[in-house]
Amino acid sequence: MSRVFNFPTKIAREGLVRVLIPDLDAYRRPDGIYEPAWAPVFYNPRMSFNRDVAVLFARVLSKTLGTSKLLVAEPLAGTGVRGIRYAVEAGAEVRMSDISRVAVEIARWNIRLNKVENRVSIERGHANKLLYKLVEEGAPINLIDIDPFGSPIPFIDAAIEVASRFRSVIAVTATDTAPLTGTHSSALRRRYWVQPGRTEWEKEQAVRILLGSIIRRVASIDYGAEVLLAYYTDYYVRAYLGLVRGATRADNSLSRLDYGVYCPWCGYSGYSSATPSRCPICHHSLVVVGPLYSGKLCNLELIQGMVKEIQETPWINTKRAEKLLATLKSECELTKPYYRVDRVSAFLKVEVPKVAEVIEALEELGYRATRTHFDPRGFKTDAPYYEILNVFLSLRGSPQASR
């Protein structure tokens, strides 16, 4: 235990860097779980994989842009671990800030510890203050990483202002998954301006609501937003978006916003450009949520580039990164919401089949189908729902569902 500061600290290793962090044992709840919000400076070890993927993305972005020094803005620094990893593992130059005096002091300590004073700087101030300052300075930022505790919405408009000036990529994390999945409907309506609802594909719903909210904000200044990568893992949503200028491109982005629909009676899920009231399968009332983004959740070329980078970054969680990217690649072209085998089986009152069995049966019928990263019990397909029901019934030797 170190006493560099007036609270217990320790040195942790993450990726290729070492950082001084609050001693996690001093900030555990009675149930033994570490509570990052209790510590004097925010550090969450469970987000290390988020930072692993961010490093992979930054390395590919640097090569795509043809620059040896990616310029990154990280306005919510905490201990500085994310920004320092960008510098050490992706060769970036990083501008960081944090409103906490203690966080800034620890981040400066960590910058010196990793000998990146010439590539990483930090200042004290509100996150939006740094972003607007970068606009005033004309700093050609390539990547803006918004990684808050909770919702990113308070920082999105400032990030968009930077991105629109310099064609930056916006990377954003949202940990307020209870509202995004529809559990807290009032908070969902307030923060994201959507009609709230709960579906059986709640994790995908969370990702698509966040993307839809950002796209609407970007479109308001006549920019389109290209979704480069978006996923849900652990307890958070993570998304990377590029901005493209022009009212037509803004309109094209808005055209990919729809309402998500879910039938609690038969399990049907899908999207609709309007707000339908009846299920097309069983004609019962639908749950409607949105507007939300209904397009692709990744760029295949980007995913392939990140897979290649894994070979050059053995210090990250290689096995987990490979699994996530492989699954994202397989489901990238399938935009319809995922289904869960246990839920469909419950609606039909049949034994639960294996996910692999369902996928194989759908492929034999000529449809595309794959596992999804959202849920190990889930699958995605372009098959209509009545065909999915028929597959479940046929796998258990039951009479086929009517069309």
Q: Report the C-alpha gap between 37 and 19 in whole angstroms.
A: 18
Please report how the helices 355-364 and 385-395 are oriented relative to each other, as an axis angle in degrees rounded to 10. 120
Closest CA to 292 of 242, 361, 239: 239
Which of 37, 7, 35 is CA-nearest to residue 23?
A: 7
Identify whether 291 is preceded by a cis peptide bond (ω within 30 of 0): yes
If you average pLDDT over residues 71-75, what whole number do you get? 98
Check residue 245 and give its pLDDT.
Answer: 95
| 108-120 tens-digit pLDDT | 999 999 999 999 9
Entry pTM: 0.94
Give the pLDDT confidence of 4-61 residue by residue, as tens digits.
677 878 999 999 999 998 887 777 888 877 777 777 788 888 899 999 999 999 999 9
Q: Could you tell me whether strands 120-124 and 257-262 are parallel, antiparallel, or unpaired per DSSP bridges?
A: unpaired
Backbone angles phi, psi at 65, to 5 degrees: -80, -15
162 contact partners, CB below 8 Å, separation of at least 6: 73, 131, 134, 135, 141, 144, 168
333 with 252: CB under 8 angstroms? Answer: no
Residue 269 pairs in a beta bridge with: 262
- Which run of H or E residues covers position 64? helix 48-65
Task: Kindly state the average pLDDT of the residues 169-182.
Answer: 96
Stronger pLDDT, 275 or 385, i.e. the higher one = 385
In this structure, CATH architecture of domain 338-403: 2-Layer Sandwich (3.30)
Question: Under 8 Å CB-to-CB from 397, ≥6 apart: which residues?
Answer: none
The pLDDT of residue 402: 46
Domain boundaries, the chain: 9-255+293-303, 338-403
Spatial separation of the C-alpha atoms in residues 41 and 107, rounded to whole Å? 10
Q: Residue 49: in which H helix or E strand, if any?
A: helix 48-65
Question: Residues with Cβ < 8 Å from 119, sequence gap 6 or more?
Answer: 69, 87, 92, 93, 94
Please name the residue that has the structure tokens 């606009």: 135
> Cα 98 to chain center, whole Å?
22
Architecture of domain 9-255+293-303: 3-Layer(aba) Sandwich (3.40)
pLDDT tens column, 319-343: 999 999 999 999 999 999 999 999 9
Q: How far apart are CA 91 and CA 400, in angstroms?
A: 58
pLDDT mean over 87-93: 97
Where are any strands of DSSP class E within 78-161? 93-98, 120-124, 143-146
